[in-house]
Amino acid sequence: MRRRGFLAAFGAAFVAGCNKIADTGPGKSLLSAAESWHKGAHRLLTDRTALAPVYPRSAISPFFRGNGSTDPQNGDYQASAANDFADWRLEVRGLVDSPLSLTLDNIRRLPQRTQITRHDCVEGWSAIGEWTGPQLSLLLDAAGLREEAKYIVFRCADNLNGEDYYESVDLIDAYHPQTIVAHMLNGRPLPIRNGAPLRMRIERQLGYKHAKYLTAVEAVASLDDIGRGGGGYWEDRGYQWYAGI
């Protein structure tokens, strides 16, 4: 018992030391610098168009778990869902030459891409599903991305703990061939749990990047003035913006 007490005291002291370091300016910048070292290493080792692995149909998980918002109660979402999302619009806006406002029908009529990929949650679990939708690059090209645009922000209909969900990627991931605006999972319209009627697939990053309940795709030059400036709902709460780690 005494040994255990000693170990716990030692552990607590060590943790307190770590937390002290994390609170200092240099400690803080070191911790966030590590994320960019990983991103740099990943980008160095992996071609910008290199694909995430795809699986055969037989590998699809029997059920696709939902996380975060799984049934948004805010705004008009429930009414829209009751109406089969007939009134849903996806806006393409921000630093583009000609902003778009697309219905689900518009989106279904675009050239489609179907991919069976693995979804990895930051918590540690994985599920495999088949996703269908147009490539994001198609929408960006149709709207005409301006030169100043550096990031693509994804706006979402769900409000989690009082704040609107949002996410962002750089142009490498925005133009990645597997980055699609999915409206189908396993050959059927997206379930509400998984982001109906539209969600992003950012296949080389963790699950929180794959914004659900997508309402707008916004081209911006900087992430500073959006949300709390972190580039996403979870990033504003301390998670890494580059979620390929």
Partner 1 sequence: MKRHRLSTRLWHWLNLLCVVVLFMSGLTISNAHRYLYWGQWGFMPEQAWLAVPRFPDWMTIPGYYSLAVAREWHILMAWPFALGLLLMWIAMLANRHFKRDIATATDEWKPRNVKRDVVEHLKLNFDHGEGKYNFLQKLAYGLVFGVFLPMMIFSGIAISPGMEPTFGWLVDLLGGRQSARSLHFIFAFAIAGFFVVHVLLVMLAGPIHQIRDMITGGKADET
Which spans of this chain sit near partner 1 (rule: CB under 8 A)? 8, 11-12, 14-16, 18-19, 22, 30-32, 34-35, 37-39, 42, 45-47, 50-53, 55, 59, 61, 63, 65, 118, 120-128, 203-206, 234, 237-240, 242-245
CA–CA gap between residue 6 and residue 22 (Å, rounded): 24
Half-sphere exposure of 217 (CA within 13 A, CB side): 33
Closest approach of Cβ 37 to partner 1, in Å? 6
Closest approach of Cβ 73 to partner 1, in Å? 24
Residue whose structure tokens are 């799984």: 70
Based on CB atoms, which residue is closest to partner 1, 19 or 24? 19
Asked whether the beta carbons of 22 and 16 are under 8 A apart, the reply is no
Closest approach of Cβ 84 to partner 1, in Å? 28
- Ordered alpha helix ranges (H), 129-240: 136-143, 171-174
Based on CB atoms, which residue is closest to partner 1, 122 or 149? 122
Asked whether the beta carbons of 87 and 78 are under 8 A apart, the reply is no
Based on CB atoms, which residue is closest to partner 1, 10 or 101? 10
Residue whose structure tokens are 């990943």: 42
3-state secondary structure (DSSP) of residue 101: strand
Handedness of CA 176, 181, 187, 193 (dihedral sign): positive
Closest approach of Cβ 31 to partner 1, in Å? 4
Measured in whole angstroms, the distance separating CA 129 from the mean position of its chain's CA atoms is 16
Closest approach of Cβ 136 to partner 1, in Å? 18
Based on CB atoms, which residue is closest to partner 1, 41 or 221? 41
CA–CA gap between residue 166 and residue 158 (Å, rounded): 9
Based on CB atoms, which residue is closest to partner 1, 47 or 97? 47
Closest approach of Cβ 243 to partner 1, in Å? 8
Based on CB atoms, which residue is closest to partner 1, 146 or 237? 237
Based on CB atoms, which residue is closest to partner 1, 102 or 206? 206
**Long-range contacts: 66-69, Cβ < 8 Å, 24+?**
66/191, 66/193, 66/194, 67/121, 67/123, 67/207, 68/158, 68/160, 68/165, 68/208, 68/212, 69/158, 69/159, 69/160, 69/165, 69/212, 69/213
Closest approach of Cβ 213 to partner 1, in Å? 21
